[in-house]
Chains A and B, each alone.
Chain A
Amino acid sequence: MAYNILVVDDSAIIRKMVSRTIQMAQVPVGDIFHAENGRDALGILGANWIDLVLADINMPVMDGMAMLEAMHNDEVMKNVPVIIVSTEGSETKIEKLWQRGMKAFVKKPFMPETIREVISGVLGEWDETESDTSADSF
């Protein structure tokens, strides 16, 4: 099975870095979608089948916390797992993210192995032979 993954970050360089890391981590990828903020991410989630969201917290227009809350209140989107990838270091703020339905937290900077372990923990292990299918959608 190949997963459609949505990467949400206001920085183009971080979106590319996360996408590249996912591919280096040999996650079986169908399409990788990119969004610059939570609002755009919700639009993509409403129009496409997404298996996993990796999102930053601090973003303009709609931040990761508000995006999580909107997903949590939507009957369909609430089932899509969200991994927050952020520089956030406050346990207080991270607890709030857990309360809003975050499935895992990855602190920047991260190693590819960390991303692989966390994604595998959220989605379950995958067949390694499927991991060479990958494409970016912008």
Chain B
Amino acid sequence: MIKVENLKKRFGKLQVLHGVSFDTEDGKCTAIMGPNASGKTTTIKSILGLVVPDEGTITVNGMDIRKGFQYRNLIGYMPQIPTFPENITPRELINLTIKLRTYEKNYSQELIELFEIEEHLDKPFSALSGGTRQKVNAVLAFMFDVPILILDEPTVGLDPVSSRKLKNLIKERKQKGVDVIITSHIVSEIEQLADDMVFLLEGQVIFEGPVKEAIEQTQGEDLEDAIAKLIQRQQAA
């Protein structure tokens, strides 16, 4: 479970987050949504400790993230566009990640078979397509039995078959009680996967709650319509 309270962040003159607060629950998938430059990536990076907030607190399974780095052992992270060093191979990267974690067991072999990337494991990243890199990215995020998954645009660059496999994987983990946080611009994907939604606009949360409630509250036809109405309502206010 992640609890974000009154998160504020400024980059130079630009105030990116204006007191963002929300909670996520175990066994549920929470979508962090919002237009470009609404603060989604800064929020995710703050949870991961990559961005240092100016104000506010973040707790991950009850641990204040400012008190150490060990909490990151609980998180599997899939960055949006992975930029792995060109001269190293997926196998080396998988092995490095295993060494940096403290899990007894990892599911890398099962995931390598699932995404059919065995033949690419010893090629340097420079020789791999965007889709294959994204599959390696998925293996790195899902290969441990972590209680929290943070997935930033996870299906970008994947073919429909692999995208479906990844979505099934997300659903499986959710059923096992994993707290999944996802960002995506593909509304249909969010409708399929997410239970809850946190909608950010210009660094502020303008909606937090179940996806169904967003549709009901705005009397939208579907999630896409609900999002459009949420933005209009905020701009009118």
Q: Do A and B come from one complex?
A: no
